[in-house]
Structure 1
Amino acid sequence: MRAFACPVCSEFTAFDTDRCANCQTTLGFHLPTKSMVSLVDGTAVLDGQRWVRCTQYVTLGCNWLAAEEHDEFKKRGRCLADSLIRREPAADDTLAREKLVPTAAALRRLVYQLDDIGLPIDPFWRRDGGLAFDLLSSYTTGEKVIIGHAGGVITIDVVESLDAYREALRVRLGEPYRTMLGHFRHEVGHYYQNILVETGSGAAKYLDDCRSLFGDEQASYSDSIARHYKSGAPANWDESFISEYATMHPWEDFAECFAHYLHIADTIDTSREAGMVLLAERVRFAAPRDIVPLETYDDQPIERMLFDWRWMSMFFNRVNTAMGKNPLYPFEIPLAVAEKLGFVHRVIRETARAAED
């Protein structure tokens, strides 16, 4: 993610902040320019357009701006990210609303990245089957909330924002990594596989290649679930899959690879924006060359991104373990997974280029 600066004093400002810690300027995040802008009475004027605070500023702590009097927004006054929320806990469900705040924050990070890499964000209120998020609570309602995707709607259980709950599930399910942002990235992978690969013009362009890499998505999903939870992952699964969960069904394999692509791309971007490089002459072990994250990997093969990531993640893993925590990226990327990530890279980059033309 980009390193944002205060427009008044140029001090670093966090992505979710609403005030400069140095000069106390009131700030708002403007998605079209990917920048923090200064506000006067909660308003900014950019290229003749008035922008105001998202109406979820108080309830969800949203620091994004929304275009004033934007008629196409059915959820008037909400920023793009928050307008994608189709269902949410009731106003009087205070415990669930409390957990909705960090959940919505993770959603905004997802939407920022999707917009930044050029993927289409077509909301449910604009067309049937558009992207929507049901952010619900199993903890307070007692109703079962199944995290998943169906017909453009992504359902998330906000109780997953509780560290203890999420960690207990991670351990019980044998997962090396489980976060709210990870859930969003995985589930949105299902959405983009459907609209970019399986339907429309994408089917003729990508579907055969997708099936050759991930398998036939027409295989029974219910049978695959039953087999996975009865027998687990096949032997030597780590030679062809990024995670055990990816072995369950071709859809899950694609979604896991899509999520990992977003993990890797965002962490590399954030590192570059911090000015981080690995100097081969300064390390105590053999390094092939300086690792300098590129401004963009759009025109680079996936191998270049993954080569840089291998060395960068080695550093991040060591930092985490130095703090007594688990490695930041506890995954190996075998050749078969690299090829799958290369397919995700191709679909994303070609989709973004087509939108620019």
Structure 2
Amino acid sequence: MRPFDCPNCGRLNHFEVRVCPACSATLGYDPEADAFRFLADDRTTWRERGGRPADMMVCANNNRFGICNWLTTPGAPNGMCRACRHNRTIPDLADPAVPPLWARVEEAKRRLFHSLIRLGLPLETKAEERPGVQGLAFDFLYRPGSLQGGHKVVTGHDEGLITLDVSEADDAHRERVRQQMGEPYRTLLGHFRHEAGHHYWSRLVAPDPARLEQWRALFGDEREDYGAALAAHYNGGRKAWTEGYVSHYATSHPWEDFAETFAHYLHIVDTLATVRGFGLSLTAFGGVNGDGRVELGFDPYAADAAALAAEMAPVSFAMNAVNRAMGQSDLYPFNLTGAIVGKLAFVQDMARAARGG
């Protein structure tokens, strides 16, 4: 995503900011305006750029746990912001290892919600669920000893409920699991985007017969035994990682193929929005237009999949080169083939239809 300027002094800040490093103003993010507000000297009034008052209040999760930097409107359900109101279960905070891990979980979740809101995807809570409309909720769980390799929580999705192992917020634990699984990429934000993909399959694909048939033509038949497919995958895999799949895990079952593709759509959109937010271009590669210029009207949140892939190719090459210069692994170790772009186009069309054109 783009960098956010402090509404009090104009300094650029990261999305996780709570206090502006330049002017020391207390900041809060307003998801409806996609902008930060600052707390006035009276410590009760949130103000927009120029000092205009905004009818906002701090999310209840910040008041109670100091865990959220989003604002919400008076009268919001349980005083929660648009992201926190989807939490069903938070981890037991009595263990001193848990609060900092949960804080990182919530930071990643807010980045997910920023993308979902910008894309115009539906975000019903479980309280708003009704026939044909699946709500979204989160269980954030932690089991003592999981950081040392003990019994852990299984991260997954079931009918709109995403369960996430809070241990995944620990870098050492996550890297150990990544190596055990033979994965080129494993991040906390990636988990959120993947599991959200499962939710939107149930929310937007499964209830629509025409869209479901189109989906099956691209991803396969989801009626294949899911448990058997995963068992086969983890026992050596029945399918090779070919150019038709964005990751090896995507080969395990059509549901996982879609979730991985959905996650990569969000990876690409957010990466390109960030690059453009800083005004970066890739003139060494001729730019997107082939003449050294980046197309100024290009909006990653609305662009077609082919345009996204065309720009992501030189951007990811450059980012990978920077990472290698720092002795790090490639930031985006994937190749977007024509078949994968076709699947990304399905996700992009689904998002476009969900927001009404």
Q: Residue 261 of structure 2 is aligned with which of 253, 257, 262?
A: 257
> Do the aligned residues in 1 keep the contact of 2:31 with 2:70 (CA within 8 Å)?
yes
For 2:320, the equivalent position in structure 1 comes to 317
For 1:52, the equivalent position in structure 2 comes to 57
The runs of 5 or more residues in structure 2 that have no matched partner are none
For 1:123, the equivalent position in structure 2 comes to 125
Q: What CA deviation, in whole Å up to 9, does each residue of 1:102-158 have, x standing for no partner?
A: 001100111111001111111123226410010111335876411110010000000
1:298 Cα deviation from its structure 2 partner:
5.8
Task: Report the secondary structure of 1:33's partner residue.
Answer: coil
- Alpha-carbon distance in 1 for matches of 2:56, 2:290: 48
Q: Residue 306 of structure 2 is aligned with which of 266, 283, 303?
A: 303
- Alpha-carbon distance in 2 for matches of 1:224, 1:105: 33
For 2:73, the equivalent position in structure 1 comes to 67
> Do the aligned residues in 1 keep the contact of 2:239 with 2:252 (CA within 8 Å)?
no
Judged with a 3 Å threshold, the aligned counterparts in structure 2 of structure 1 residues 83 and 94 are, in CA distance, closer, same or farther, namely farther
Q: Residue 338 of structure 1 is aligned with which of 332, 338, 341?
A: 341
Q: Residue 247 of structure 1 is aligned with which of 240, 248, 251?
A: 251
Task: Report the secondary structure of 1:270's partner residue.
Answer: helix
Q: Does 1:238 align with 2:230?
A: no
1:233 Cα deviation from its structure 2 partner:
5.0
Alignment of 1:132-151 (within 5 A): 132-139=137-144, 144-151=152-159
- Alpha-carbon distance in 1 for matches of 2:337, 2:245: 8
What TM-score results when the alignment is normalised by the length of structure 2?
Answer: 0.90
For 2:27, the equivalent position in structure 1 comes to 27
Q: What CA deviation, in whole Å up to 9, does each residue of 1:15-49 have, x standing for no partner?
A: 11122211122211101000011113143267986
1:297 Cα deviation from its structure 2 partner:
4.4
Task: Give, as a single letter, the amino acid of the residue that structure 1 aligns with 2:247.
Answer: S
Alignment of 1:92-241 (within 5 A): 92-127=94-129, 129-139=134-144, 144-199=152-207, 203-232=208-237, 234-235=239-240, 237-241=241-245
Task: Report the secondary structure of 1:234's partner residue.
Answer: coil
Judged with a 3 Å threshold, the aligned counterparts in structure 2 of structure 1 residues 185 and 324 are, in CA distance, closer, same or farther, namely same
1:282 Cα deviation from its structure 2 partner:
8.4
- Alpha-carbon distance in 2 for matches of 1:303, 1:162: 35
> Do the aligned residues in 2 keep the contact of 1:43 with 1:53 (CA within 8 Å)?
no
- Alpha-carbon distance in 2 for matches of 1:17, 1:341: 32
Give the number of aligned pairs: 343
Task: Give, as a single letter, the amino acid of the residue that structure 1 aligns with 2:83.
Answer: A
> Do the aligned residues in 1 keep the contact of 2:222 with 2:253 (CA within 8 Å)?
yes
Task: Give, as a single letter, the amino acid of the residue that structure 2 aligns with 1:33.
Answer: A
- Alpha-carbon distance in 2 for matches of 1:281, 1:215: 36
> Do the aligned residues in 2 keep the contact of 1:317 with 1:328 (CA within 8 Å)?
yes
What TM-score results when the alignment is normalised by the length of structure 1?
Answer: 0.90
Judged with a 3 Å threshold, the aligned counterparts in structure 2 of structure 1 residues 181 and 300 are, in CA distance, closer, same or farther, namely closer
The runs of 5 or more residues in structure 1 that have no matched partner are none
